[in-house]
Amino acid sequence: MENLFENTELINSKKNLLNLLEKTNIKQKSTFISAYLFHGIKVNFHSTDPAFTSKVLNFLPEEWTVSASFKSKNNLDIYLENNWNRDWDYEVNPNCLIQETGQFESAIQRDFLGLDYRDHAILSLTDLHADGIFNALRWLLPRRMLVMDTFLLHSSCVVDNGLAYFFLGASGAGKSTVASLSGQRIVLGDDMNVMRFDGEKVYAKSGGLGGLSFSNTDYVNEFEVAGFFWLKQSTQSSRTKVSASSGATKILASLANIFWELMPYKRREELLELSLQIASKSNFYQLEFKKDGEFWNYVTKG
């Protein structure tokens, strides 16, 4: 994947910084700044630069802040470094270059770079926009969430009368369009949302890690999912029932940042089975929709 990056000089500069982060004793130099609860994972942020870190954390949902003493079974300490070069975002390729060693996993991406030691991570990113911290957390959190049968789903998700509806599809299928045509309904997100399965029912919650901003987004509550819809733009709206096996495939295709190539075979098999269970217990349709809002009649009907 490394040869896909167009700016090889930039990649080499980021590699040099990774080597520096590995050797820097940041844990001993940093102080605790703030803690957030991300879908069952308590993330404690530390830094040697409180002003920089506070600016970065302003991009995250305020509703997710918790006290330092908050108890959680799942914890991750993140150490933020303020050493990102202002010109380092100039890379066309948005992919994440991941390498594993026996001690840690490293990641280089357009908007951040980091080291993941499992119990803690070290990040270097920008404070000029939200993509740095969003993409870094998308790298660190989704695989940790899997152990709780909780998934980050590339989707839009809208709540109508207390029930959530997931909209899936490839880039350009219309996920953001559906969210923008939601009227007074609650939009959880148009890009990244969280799906949780308890063995019987599926639940949705705002991912809070990127996408368009909606004034009525609910970052706190979880909603039971009433349906999944695979999107296809059309000149008229209709819906067609999708089989459980096809639905499972579409769910797997929508799982965000789980990095299949790094996943043990047994875990892949477990995810395949879990996706089939979710699709079997859910209403799953293909939604052909026209951009006029009338498609909601096909979403919410029984």
Express each pLDDT in 251-298 by its tens digit.
999 999 999 988 899 999 999 999 999 999 999 999 999 998 899 999
Last residue of a domain, one of 112, 140, 168: 140
Q: Domain tally for the chain?
A: 2
- 78 within 8 A of 32, measured Cβ to Cβ: no
Of 160, 174, 157, 190, the C-alpha closest to 292 is 174
The answer to whether residue 145 sits within a structural domain is no
Residues 135 and 164 grouped into a single domain: no
| pLDDT confidence tier of residue 4, bands split at 50, 70 and 90 | low
**Which is nearest to 208 in space by CA: 223, 184, 191, 225?**
191
Question: Do 98 and 7 have their domain in common?
Answer: yes
CB atoms within 10 A of CB 79: 24
Is 90 exceeded by the pLDDT of residue 104? yes
Question: What is the C-alpha to C-alpha distance for residues 20 and 296, in angstroms, rounded to an integer?
Answer: 53
Task: Tell me, yes or no, whether 34 and 106 share the same domain.
Answer: yes
Same domain, 172 and 127: no
Q: What is the CATH number of the domain that holds 171?
A: 3.40.50
pLDDT in tens, 185-228: 999 999 999 999 999 999 999 999 988 889 899 999 999 999 99
Residue 91 — φ and ψ, nearest 5°? Answer: -140, 130
Q: Is the pLDDT of residue 1 over 70?
A: no
Report helix angle 131-140 to 50-57, nearest 10.
80
Question: pLDDT tens across 40-74, in order?
Answer: 999 999 999 999 999 999 999 999 999 999 999 99
Rounded to whole angstroms, the Cα distance separating 96 from 78 reads: 19
Query: What is the domain range of residue 68?
Result: 2-140
Residue 220 lies in a domain: yes
Residues 6+ apart with CB under 8 A from 268: 260
Answer with the one of 97, 121, 140 that is the final residue of a domain.
Answer: 140
Q: What are phi and psi of 277, to 5 degrees?
A: -60, -45
The pTM of this model reads 0.91
